[in-house]
Structure 1
Amino acid sequence: MSVLDPAATAGRLFDTERKLYFFPIRHHSPACALHLRDALRAIRPAAVLIEGPVDFEPLIAELLAPGVVPPVAMVALPDSEARTGKGRSGTTYYPICSHSPEYVAIQEARQLGAAIRFIDLPSRHPSMLSDVRDKDQPLLPMRETMFDRGAYVEAMCARTGFRDGLALWDGLFEARARSTDWRAFFASVGAYCASLRAASHTDELQADGTQAREAMMCACIHDAIATASGPIAVVTGGFHTPALIDAQPQTTQPDWTTSRSDAWLIRYDFRALDRLNGYGAGLPLPGFYERVWKRVIGANGEAESSLTEEILTSFRSHLIANEPALAFPFPTLRAMVETATRLADLRGLPEPGRTELFDAVQSSAIKEEIELGSHPLLAAFSAFLGGDRLGDLPPGSRLPPLIERARSEARAHGLSLEDAVPKTRELDIYRKPRHTQASRFLHAMRLVAPAFAQRVKGPDRVHGFRADTLMETWTYAWSPAVEASLIERAADGETVQDVAAAILIRRLADLEKEGQRNNTEAAFNLLSFAFDAGIGGAADTLMGAVSAAVGADTLLLRLTNALVIGQGLDGRAKAMHSDTTVRAFASLLPPLLDRLARRIAELLPDLAAVDADHVGEATQCLAALVEAMADPRPPFPTEPLRDALAQLLSAQLDPQLTGAVIAVAALIGQIDETEAGRRLSAALAGAFERPGEAIRALSGVMALAPQLFVNDSGVIAAIDDLFGAVDDQGFLALLPQLRMAFAELSPHETDRVAAVVAAAHGADDDDIAMLQHVPDARVLSDHLALSERLRNQWREDGLAQWLEQAP
């Protein structure tokens, strides 16, 4: 028997003697859903077996509850092993939309009084997690990539003229949604899927868990045969059906009892359901197929216009309202409808499908060449047909209180949750208390459900009120990933604030487990998160941990960075409207910063022992210290720090660090610029016999305060004298360091240095103008090297005396 013979396939699918009916489907296919509905009404089964994780079966009653509006999804959270890093940590999703055959089967089974069973392995079974994905990506028990590629699909596309596997499916099956012969339809689907199966390798089916899943399904089917008192309908992905028709139960039954999961029903959205966005099953652009489904089941009544007219007219209205620059005139609309209709006729289709609509839009409205990628109009059409619907659950659904409280709080802050489209919100966090509260909620949600919101811009939490903006800009969107995160965190509390506090306390414990208990910077970062999210309840615990870290931390870079963070927090607390949370931080920060500043002062003299390999980190410490002490009224004592820096000024340091300490002292007003120039000139003179160290001393200054070099002619002269005493070869050796040092200068500062040096050598403005056209340093280096080779050659040729006489 040929697997391509639909008649023979139909005989195998529908076993009237055993009253066993197999229905091969494609997930989220309107045509499969419609024909399955007709078939179930005709055979009136006593049991309906559906490919779905067996641990999701308790959710069927919730799925059928009044007020459930698809799309929704059954989800399983990671088990304890996954959460501890030993297993797959992704959340498993089983999405359902109105035109999902599984959803239609469940609805019809309830109407018929039939038993409903899920027959696939549990969602967290290893064979359900074996698909190759990034570790934390969402997991899907439905996988249908075999429908879209492979030798058989390519051969069928070549024979029929369809451009890809998705268009092939539409042309062969979705186009038959309005036919009335469900037996012939499923016979054709069965023959097609049997051919796909025949072209698959057994090793792949073993490796990806397919065979283990089918063993489970087979066992459940035979259990139902033994217990059911009437016809049995088996609804599975078409790829599995050929393996299930004649399968016999294995002697050893699949072990799934230890793999049950914590399963919930949540809202889902069309964007997550779209195959074009990476979803692994079903069809692209679910909004389009939702329109098809409503039309074929008569949800819109006897519509006067065709579905093509309805879609293209709605798209034009959408563009006029939302993207007027892309809107097209009415004559173009008429041309689109006619083109789509004629294309359908040409391709032997009863009406235009997804492919014909896109071809019509492209040929009728786009006249210019389409560059690599998609034309904006086609991208807009794709987004329009994809849809942005977000499903809903009725009040009282079995959801953790955290989810409904989060949604309620979001709405109270003026955040729209009506669909899954990303939205933007600007917040004036310092002048409007309501905006401050909204900001805290969004910051807390970043901890609890990171997928909900991202801050695009706003005051940096390190630099606090001295950042370049007082406004925050956020993007946010409610999505299935948000709800799944909230379910996963529900055990930590019933409000977003409580859960965020629990997360921060857990992160604090993680620092200790990782041996980072003394990491002051990390502890201050946690404290900053708490402030952003308005978590006053965690302040005492975090403050205690930070204080302990300050006393034990010995790394100056972490301590100085923490001082900058703490100072920023103090400034923001003073700038914001005072409330309980702000007062809690405002009262706890000053003594903490006092202790931190004294700890830094205690460790600063240790920089005298820093060698060249670690001078970069030491310079970063000093840069952070300068940033903190630049505040005219810092919230910490500065005298201990000034005393420690005074010790460093008189200590024998690495040359680069010497320059950096001079710069720090000048920037904080401990010495004036004249004294700084004198000290730097002395340091350069002291390194006269070691020009490389002189350049490193200059680099230390330039890294923190390049203006000290630019504004002091004496320093410039000292550097010029240094270069004058170095031959060309020595200059070439110094050139890389010199370039790094001068990279800190602005073009204006570079011009200032050039003018001083030129004047010292008697050059006028015309000479300086010529320097503007000097090639870059690499070319200059090459030319100098060439000059040196020429000199050597001339000396070998006896021209040394002539060279010495040359002007």
Structure 2
Amino acid sequence: MSALDPAATALRLFDAERRLYFFPIRHHSPACALHLRNALRETRPAAVLIEGPADFEPLIAELLAPGVVPPVAMVALPDSVEKAEGTRAGTTYYPICRHSPEFVAIQEAAALGAAIRFIDLPSRHRAMLSGPQDKEGAPLLPMRESVFDRGAYIEALCERAGFRDGLALWDGLFEARARGTDWRRFFTSVGAYCSALRAASEPDELEGDGTLARETMMRACLADAIANTTGPIAVVTGGFHTPALIGGHGETAPIGKTASPASNAWLIRYDFRALDRLNGYGAGLPLPGFYERLWERLTGDADAAGNLAEEMLVGFRAHLSRHEPALVFSFPTLRTMVETARRLAELRGLAEPGRTELFDAVQSAAIKEEIELGSHPLLAAFTHYLQGERLGDLPPGSRLPPLIERARREARANGLSLEDALPKNRELDIYRKPRHRQASRFLHAMRLIAPSFADRLKGPDMVHGFRADMLLESWSYAWSPAVEAALIDRTADADTVADAAAALLLRRLDHLEKEGQCNNAEAALNLLSIAFDAGLGRAADRLAAAVETAARADSDLLRLARALVIGKALESRARRYQSEGHEEAFATLLPSVLDRLVRRITELLPDLIAVDADHVGHAIACLAALAEAMADPDPDFAAQPLRDSLRELLYMQLDPALNGAVIALSTVIGLIDAGEAGRRLVAALAGAFEKPGEAIRTLSGVMALAPHLFINNGNVITAIDTLFGSIDDQGFLLLLPQLRMAFAELSPQETDKVAATVASAHGIGHDDLALLLQAPDAQALSEHLALGERLRDQWLQDGLSAWLEPAA
């Protein structure tokens, strides 16, 4: 029989003559873990060989240290050669949870005094990195089990046995048998199943994904163990590899020295979210929180006599009460769920409900409407609940990657407490205290590379001008395993917080280029402002060059104007702090950036003459940004070219709304005084009697930039009042929506001031004006006036014109 024949695999798993015991497993399977524990206690091997990267072997002692609480992960960082080449330079993860068979094997072997060896290729070997990676920089996972979930063999088994997918099939065939006591029979079944999967796989695929190269290494390690071990040997590998190892045939590789405690291999905390197969993790089972609870019941850490379905569903309802009360279901519905899950398990021949039965029970008992598969909020909440929120832990004094060590050291140097994971607040006087400013830069940098660490509660936004006069910054921060998990993802970039943050910003710049946004000056300058906040002067040269390149090609006036606002704020801050280290780089580079932006905006301003009513809003927003950038009479850039170009616009034939905005901008920056602005507006309004709508649009343009020009100029108000006096009721109704939009820029006090001016011109006193405060709102007034017009027309048609005459 072939070694890949399911029957051959089943017969040769336990070789009493050679005292070899092969245990085919599925990663993170509670059933495999429990049966393996029983098997190792009975066979008492002298050596336990485990499918794990050989260079992780020195981490076994750390994994067994008191105080280690899974989930944790062994990780390997790219070496200097990989970083330089930039190929597959992500971090390699080997996660471990309490119900991982590999973790159970390590614990039992240590208790027995057996030798423990990892027999897979080193984690950074090209065959270990050859699997799929969803996106650049994503974690690399040497354990891949997609073959358990797809393929013609799995589909045929599911159809024959009545399971909906490969995961449900595994649960029904194996996890449901976790309570059995015959470990030989259990692993014989798993071995036959995995051998059939192996036989249905294409050899080319196994060569391409590194499987064959890995198995060559495993066979070599097995041969070496047989030659050097006295006593039984247990071999714990993914079931897919077991058939290739049992026969002892095939190519083997010479055993070299495994990496000694290499500087780039570490043990870190991990969490269930990252371990969940539904989040893209390449091995094991979905929803680890569910299987962790199952493991606790199997091992006696929880009440195994209770009803699992009842326990999980009662816990889910309590979870909803705390976190999503709008989704809480009634107690009768809860009872129906529990009963449904129990009956489904009976119908499917299971000892108790599993993951699939619980989902089916929730859907059938609590969801009455039609839904798209998996899209209902209750199912999403149940998925999150079964995923679990557990974070692993490591004992104090554990070795950590350099980036984490340095981040912790720098945090303490900046006066931040890391004694526990409770949120803490810190207030920083960033203007007057250099040490506080340095702490602010650290927090900004950490917010880039580990967002869960710090959140800025309040403080000045000196880039966009929001509350720029505030003196203090307030932060909330907390050091947690989630922060370490985020930092480990950045260890491939650098060993310091500043270098990792700079690398991340430059990667974002590369993404702009890849997405065709290399001409987006605003986006590039925003990255430069982030670098300034975080004190990343080392990234300034490239980011500033990117802004200048973008400015040359950018044809969007609004983006350019907003970029000028940001650049002006940065230049002002850089000059203020120029005496301090990193700001010198920005102070040197920013004048050139601002000059390039000004020149490009100046080139494009004449194009506003072609703007029509459909695009005028974008153009007015551009002018509003220029008003912000040029409000200072002595800006930090050469503004004269802009002023000259805007002066020319004053004499061009523009869209009415844009004309109003140009007049307003010219007044704001001192090109013309308020008197000239009033005369220009009166002239524009006087010329619009035949098209009163254009007058309102001119007014809207003014309101968008400088409402005070309208409020404080009686001549302009009089001109508008005269214009309205020349329009009949129907015309006024047509203009009313535009008028409301124009006046929306005014505050209630400003509106009252305009009303008082108009009322006074018509001889209306304050008492009469007060009555208007009781009038309906503009929309109701518009509807009432329209109704009055319809009634008037109807009465005229009916010959009732006399009714329209005022009473004598």
- TM over 0.5: same fold? yes
1:67-87 residue CA offsets vs partner (Å, 9 max, x unmatched): 110000011123335434631
How far 1:666 sits from its partner (Å)? 3.5
Q: What is the one-letter code of the residue matched to 1:222?
A: A
- Relative distance call for 1:508 and 1:143 in structure 2 (3 A) is closer
Corresponding residue for residue 287 of structure 2: 285
Structure-2 change in CA distance of 1:215 and 1:94 (3 Å): same
Q: Specify the alignment match of 1:384 in structure 2.
A: 385
SS at match of 2:127: helix
Q: Which amino acid aligns with 1:98?
A: R
- TM-superposed deviation, 1:441: 5.3
Other-structure match for 1:690: none
Shift of 1:2: 8.9
Corresponding residue of 1:197: 198
Give how far 1:231 is off.
1.7
Q: Which sits farther off after the overlay, 368-377 or 206-215? A: 368-377
The question of whether the paired residues in 1 share the 8 Å contact of 2:560 and 2:597 is answered with: no
Contact 2:608 2:619 survives alignment (8 Å):
no
- Whether 1:748 aligns to 2:741 is yes
Residue-pair matches, total:
708
- Residues of 2 paired with 1:294 and 1:750: CA distance? 67
Distance 1:245-1:525 versus aligned 2 partners, 3 A rule: same
Preserved CA contact (<8 Å) 2:455 2:477: yes
Q: For residues 366 and 549 of structure 2, what CA distance do their matches in structure 1 show?
A: 69
Match of 1:482?
A: 486
Contact 1:597 1:636 in 2 (8 A): no
Residue of structure 2 equivalent to 1:692: none
Deviations 1:278-320 (A, max 9, x none): 21111111111111111111123x6552333332332233233
Q: Which residue of 1 aligns with 2:152?
A: 151
For 2:337 and 2:581, how far apart are their aligned partners in 1?
63
Aligned partner (choices 266, 269, 284) of residue 268 of structure 2: 266
Q: TM-score, normalised by structure 2?
A: 0.70
Q: Tell me the equivalent position of 1:38.
A: 38
Q: For residue 70 of structure 1, give the secondary structure of its aligned residue in structure 2.
A: coil
Q: Distance in 2 between matches of 1:72 and 1:458?
A: 37
For the 8 Å contact 1:344–1:356, the answer to whether it is kept is: yes
Give the letter for the 1:66 counterpart.
P
Which residue pairs with 2:69 in the alignment? 69
| Unaligned runs of at least 5 residues, structure 2 | 515-519, 685-697, 721-737, 746-781, 790-808
Question: Counterpart in 1 of 2:118?
Answer: 118
The alpha-carbon distance between structure 1 residues 751 and 386, as it changes in their structure 2 partners (threshold 3 A), is: closer
Q: Which residue of 1 aligns with 2:765?
A: none
8 Å contact from structure 2 (residues 682, 716) kept in 1: no
**Aligned residue in 2 for 1:139:** 140
CA deviation digits over 1:708-750, x for unaligned, max 9? Answer: 999989999xxxxxxxxxxxxxxxxxxxxxxxxxxxx897359
CA offsets, 1:179-209, max 9 Å, x none? Answer: 1111110000001111111111112112222
Distance 1:663 1:507 in 2: 41
Is the Cα–Cα contact under 8 Å of residues 600 and 641 in structure 1 kept in the other structure?
no
AA aligned opposite 1:22 = F
Give the letter for the 2:30 counterpart: P
Tell me if structure 1 keeps the 8 A contact 2:561–2:601: no
Partner of 1:359: 360
Structure 1 distance, partners of 2:380, 2:597, is 59
Offset of 1:8 from its aligned partner? 4.9
* Counterpart secondary structure, 2:466: helix
Letter paired with 2:647: L
Question: Helix, strand or coil: the match of 1:73?
Answer: strand
Task: Summarize the Cα distance change of 1:335–1:664 in structure 2 as closer, same or farther, 3 Å threshold.
Answer: closer
Cα gap change, 1:84 to 1:593, in 2 (>3 Å): closer
| Superposition pairs of residues 641-680 of structure 1, within 5 angstroms | 641-642=639-640, 645-646=643-644, 649=647, 664-672=665-673, 675=676
Aligned counterparts of 2:330 and 2:560: Cα–Cα separation in 1: 64
Aligned to 2:26: 26
Residues 397, 487 of structure 1: alpha-carbon distance in 2 compared, 3 angstrom cutoff: farther
What is the deviation of 1:143? 0.8
Distance 2:739 2:592 in 1: 35
Structure 1 pair 466–646 and aligned structure 2 pair: CA distance change class (3 A):
farther
Aligned AA (2:108): E
CA contact (8 A) 2:298 2:304 kept: no
Change (3 A) 1:375 1:545: closer
DSSP 3-state at the match of 2:106: helix
Contact 1:39 1:182 in 2 (8 A): yes
1:449 pairs with 2:447: no
Q: 1:80 to 1:190 in 2, by over 3 A?
A: same
Q: Give 3-state SS (helix, strand or coil) of 1:226's partner.
A: helix
Contact 2:647 2:671 survives alignment (8 Å)? no
Note the C-alpha offset of 1:33: 0.6
- Cα distance change on mapping 1:84 and 1:502 into 2, 3 Å: same
Taking the aligned partners of 2:388 and 2:282, their CA distance within structure 1 comes to 18
* Corresponding residue number in structure 1 for 2:53: 53
Deviation at 1:361, TM superposition (A): 2.7
Alpha-carbon distance in structure 2 between the residues aligned to 1:79 and 1:654: 63
Residue 321 of structure 2 corresponds to 320
Q: For residues 667 and 349 of structure 1, do their structure 2 counterparts lie closer, same or farther at Cα, with a shift above 3 Å needed? A: same
For 2:59 and 2:463, locate their aligned partners in 1 and report how far apart those are by CA, in whole Å. Answer: 46
Q: From the superposition, tell whether residues 173 and 263 of structure 1 become closer, same or farther in structure 2 (CA, over 3 Å).
A: same
Write the distance in 2 (CA, Å) between the matches of 1:751 and 1:325.
37
State the shift of 1:353 in Å: 1.4
Q: Distance in 1 between matches of 2:272 and 2:40?
A: 27
Report if aligned partners of 1:30, 1:99 keep a CA contact under 8 Å in 2: yes
Where do residues 182-581 of structure 1 align in structure 2 (5 Å cutoff)? 182-250=183-251, 253=254, 262-300=264-302, 305-371=306-372, 373-400=374-401, 402-403=403-404, 406=407, 409=411, 442-449=443-450, 462-465=463-466, 478=482, 481-485=485-489, 487-488=491-492, 491-492=495-496, 496=497, 528-530=529-531, 532-533=533-534, 535=535, 563-568=564-569
The one-character-per-residue Cα deviations of 1:218-244 (angstroms, maximum 9, x if unpaired) are 222222222222222111111111122
1:483-509 CA-to-partner distances (Å, cap 9, x unmatched) read 4135446633xxx5x556876999999
Q: SS of 1:236's equivalent?
A: strand
Q: CA deviation at 1:99?
A: 0.5
Match of 1:465, SS state, is coil
CA distance in 1, matches of 2:105, 2:574: 58
- Aligned to 2:95, what secondary structure does the other structure show? strand
Q: Partner residue of 1:796?
A: none
Could you tell me whether the CA contact under 8 Å between 1:286 and 1:385 is conserved in 2? Answer: yes
Output the amino acid matched with 1:485.
Answer: D
Moved more, 605-614 or 188-197: 605-614
State whether residues 532 and 583 of structure 2, in contact with CA within 8 Å, keep that contact through their aligned partners in structure 1: no
Q: Secondary structure at the match of 2:55?
A: helix
Residues 590, 636 of structure 1: 8 Å contact kept? no
Q: 1:666 to 1:32 in 2, by over 3 A?
A: same
Partner of 1:782: none
CA distance in 2, matches of 1:550, 1:9: 63
Alpha-carbon distance, 1:385 to partner: 1.5
- Aligned residue identity for 1:748: M
- Provide closer, same or farther for how the CA distance between residues 254 and 129 of structure 1 changes in structure 2, counting only shifts above 3 A: farther
- Greater shift, 429-438 or 180-189, is seen at 429-438
1:240-279, Cα deviation, whole Å (9 max, x unpaired): 1112212425266599989988211110000111111221
Q: Give the aligned CA root-mean-square deviation in angstroms.
A: 6.0
| Paired-residue identity, % | 60
Output the amino acid matched with 2:195. A
Structure 1 residues 79 and 333, CA gap change in structure 2 (3 angstroms):
same
* AA in 2 matched with 1:34: L
Q: Alpha-carbon deviations, 1:773-805, whole Å to 9, x = none?
A: xxxxxxxxxxxxxxxxxxxxxxxxxxxxxxxxx
Quick check: 1:566–1:593 contact (8 Å CA) kept in 2?
A: no
Following the alignment from structure 1 to structure 2, what is the Cα–Cα distance between the partners of residues 377 and 439? 41
Displacement after TM superposition at 1:597 (Å): 11
Partners of 2:339 and 2:550 in 1: CA distance: 75
